Amino acid sequence: MWQFSGDRQLIWGDSRRDRFANRTYLMGVLNVTPDSFSDGGQFDQLDTALQQAHRLVQDGADLLDIGGQSTRPQAEDVALEEELRRVMPVIQAIRQGSNRLAPLATLISVDTTKAAVAKAAIAAGADVINDISGATFDPAMLPTVAELGVPIVLMHIRGTPKTMQQLTNYQDVVREVYDFLARRVEAAIAHGIPHAHIAIDPGIGFAKTAAQSLELLRHIAAFKPLGCPILIGPSRKSFIGHILNQPDPQQRIWGTAAACAMAIAHGADILRVHDVAEMRDVCRVADAIVRQG
């Protein structure tokens, strides 16, 4: 079982099956970037990022997912030094507090594909690595995570954020995403990462058309045989905008709520969302129906 310093909440570990049987967990998005698709530039200053971290926790986030590089379609890669410059002060401020805000003990995941960022973030007080590449972009990621002894979320993607939307030709999107994640789980275990430290994410919207994202949401249960907690990130994404004819991501809260409720019904364990207060209520009602029936 994982042991975290202080009173940080334990989610994964030997007791994870019982934990995830009881309720859905919320991962609150904290993008400290100037160019993320939904909230780029809103929290790229230390004071606004710290205020948002406290707001997300107050609203009910179980984890804070801090990202220093946009992974929206067409996004360019960010240099290591720049990603560290964006992410590290925020993690440190969350853990140390400020003159106006107390330290937070909430679990922190770091949304990165770079092993050096992962290592520095864990040293600064983060707990989990969330790698949108399934730990394929940086060959040092899996050995680094194994050495650190921390959990990792492995997500499916094709190509890079810049090229992924040209790589949506699947014969069977559910089977092909499953096979990729199965191989990445095997690779993680082969590098010494315990199976109990691995979560998976089918990558809604990443190298997926709107129709393919919906197909994955309908078949979340197909990923259960991998034996890992399943993270789903539908928040404000373009497939919702496509359905609603809503080009503004910040006006997709109700669509996100519907996607989250159905994700829970189909077996999601963790939801990565921007609008934590609203999705907390969605989770409470959906959990009462699905998990406590």
Distance, CA of 146 to CA of 221 (rounded, Å): 28
Distance, CA of 133 to CA of 156 (rounded, Å): 6
Active-site residue, selected from the candidate residues 72, 237, 252, 280: 237
Q: What is the CA radius of gyration of the chain?
A: 17
208 an active-site residue? no
For residue 92, the tally of other CB atoms under 10 A from its CB is 14
Active-site residue, selected from the candidate residues 86, 158, 252, 272: 272
- Specify the DSSP element, H or E, that contains 67: strand 63-67
Distance, CA of 83 to CA of 252 (rounded, Å): 28
Task: Specify whether the CB–CB gap between 8 and 212 falls below 8 A.
Answer: no
Q: How far is CA 117 from CA 84, 94, 128, 157, in A?
A: 6, 17, 12, 20
Beta-sheet pairing, 198-201 with 231-232: unpaired
95 an active-site residue? no
Distance, CA of 42 to CA of 33 (rounded, Å): 8
Active centre residues (catalytic): 237, 272
